[in-house]
Structure 1
Amino acid sequence: MRRTLLVVHHTPSPLTRELLEAVLSGARDPEISGVDVRSVPALGATIPDVLGADGFLFGTPANFGYMSGALKHFFDTVYYPCLDAVAGKPYSAWIHGNNDTVGAGRALESIAAGWGLAQVFGTVHLAEGGRDARERCYELGGTVAAGLSD
């Protein structure tokens, strides 16, 4: 049985886009089988996207110590309609910010806890880009996808 990993992200800058690509590369590693990876921008993600997913990855920049407005809008839109359908499903997240990603992480983890999601990889907090950040994002994507694999 194939499973779906839904990657909901807000990646407005070249750097956040680079981190998304690393996450997707890890999730689509050739050694991982039976997982369809769907990447959907936060402003385009819908209730059916969430209901059709077996696991989640969320990506956002930290804006003023909080997740992006686009990712917040996604959660505002889908939270209650999906409340009873996602409990126990795995998730993780990555957050990029120049100085304060902690508030964004706390908010995202609070929403996930309210949904009853199971965090399977600690939230990746990134202050910079570069090779190390890409490797951490690759590992994040690969770990969450492998957990859904056959």
Structure 2
Amino acid sequence: MTEAAAPSSFNAVEGPSFPVAIKVLATLAVGTVLVAAWSARAELAAIRPGPELLMLAGLAGAVVLWHFASILMSRTGISNDALWQGWLWRTSVPLRDIAQVKLLRIQRLDGFVAPRLVVRTRALGSVTFHAADPAVLAVIDVLVHGQADASAT
């Protein structure tokens, strides 16, 4: 981990939190589950599950769909004042409250694995942000290393 370096003034940037490949894989996974459930609907109806099992299945389905929507619509941004991520509800950390940062990234796999920025704050503990946009990653490089990584842009 490195101590957070206060970046110089820059324009706010925002972009998708997850790369296109992750969005495609998530869509294929959710689609496969839906097709499997649809094709097994007669067998599932014959089981006659109790209300507890139906509630559990409904909640599990809601969690899966919520995270799927989060992967598709989540955006990460950074400005002179704060770092944020989210789509319906945003997680935000003021830059002045950042104590340490750690960038977990393998640049050759940026298209398949979303780089993660683990931010340790003075008051909130640790918060993890995903970033897939090259412009956002360039500003994060400034935050983490104090200079932009020429190969990231």
Q: TM-score range by the shorter chain?
A: under 0.3
Could you state the TM-score of these two structures normalised by the residue count of structure 1? 0.24
| TM-score with structure 2 setting the length | 0.24
Bigger radius of gyration: 2
